[in-house]
Structure 1
Amino acid sequence: MDKNISKKKSGRQLSEDNYDKFVLWKATQSDDSLREMVNFKDGVINRGMIANGCEFGRAVLRQNPKVKKELLEWEDNLRVQGILPSKVVKKQPDNNEATILDQDSRLKSNTVLNCHALEVRIQELEAENDELRSKLSRLDGLNSSLLDIGWAPL
């Protein structure tokens, strides 16, 4: 029975292990993979995807102070770099008064999020367009070479 007790980790050790898992996972993420994980409703990285990638529960992201602080700082840094959209701040409703949904602010936040998604899509299409133009120029060169030696392409 003493062997089982000695093999169990303390809460502090589990906390450090989870922090190490998060830092390792964070280091393996590319800008494109992060853009795919963005929760546009809140302007943050999807917490479920982070937890799955780190192989721990979502609660670790809220309850482990080191992981929580590191994640929030990382997301702020990604916003500065333009990888994440601006964070959507949720209003806390008053306990005494019923709050009315402000349609204008919701439409504005949706517009900002849609704008970011469109900007990302434009960058992808421009890269694809450049690639296709380079392929076309190579094929034009091949076509002119074939014409020079007497072969007529179909």
Structure 2
Amino acid sequence: MANGQQRAGENLTAFRAWAQSKSDVDFREYVYRGQLKRSEIFAECGFGRSALAQNPAIRAELEELEAALRKRGVLPAAGGGSDAVDNKPAIRDGQAKQRRQESQRLNSLEQENASLRAELGKAKSMLERCKLMAAFLDETGRMPR
């Protein structure tokens, strides 16, 4: 079992990998009340909300990520003054996550289907070869070299 420092490093690595795998469009799905929704992030990263409180590196990187997203216009500006009323909140596509999961599943099924087709082709060629051997044995009574 990993100690606390190792676990913190693993959690930080998981968070970094998650953040790098997302585009601005993906981040728009996580916007909630002017910031990224922590519960969904941590669920996808595979650790609990307590990691944010106990791991200052994750907290700092999350704040940097949100600041970068604000600069790019993905997140609304912090503060919530009169500017926040004028800006419309980003519309979240509730079905995007499901479509992405279905797309990933479809890709894996297509790969599995292609590998099974290749395996079936090999099996058919082996069967044909065995049929030829059996026919030769029936005709001659000898095994070919």
Q: How many residues align?
A: 93
Q: For 1:47, give the aligned amino acid.
A: R
* Residue 63 (structure 1) aligned to one of 51, 54, 67: 54
After TM superposition, the score normalised by the length of structure 2 is 0.57
1:75-111 Cα offsets, whole Å, 9 max, x none, are 101101111111246xxxxxxxxxxxxxxx6xx4662
Instruction: Report 1:3-152 matches (<5 A).
Output: 8-39=1-32, 41=33, 43-88=34-79, 108=82, 111-113=85-87, 115-117=88-90
Structure 1 residues 56, 32: closer, same or farther in 2, change over 3 A?
Answer: same
| Residue 22 of structure 1: how far off its partner (Å) | 0.3
Contact 2:76–2:84 (Cα < 8 Å) also in 1 = no
The runs of 5 or more residues in structure 2 that have no matched partner are 94-145
Q: Match of 1:24, as an amino acid? A: A
Q: Among the aligned pairs, what percent are the same residue?
A: 33
Whichever of the two has the greater Rg, that structure is 2
Q: In structure 1, list runs of 5 or more residues that go unmatched.
A: 1-7, 90-104, 122-154
Shift of 1:62: 2.5
Distance across 2 between alignment mates of 1:60 and 1:11: 11
State the Cα distance separating 1:36 from its structure 2 match.
Answer: 1.2
Structure 1 CA distance, aligned partners of 2:15 and 2:62?
Answer: 9
CA RMSD of aligned residues (A): 2.4
Structure 1's consecutive aligned runs of 4 or more residues displaced over 4 angstroms after TM superposition are none
Residue identity in the other structure for 1:12: Q
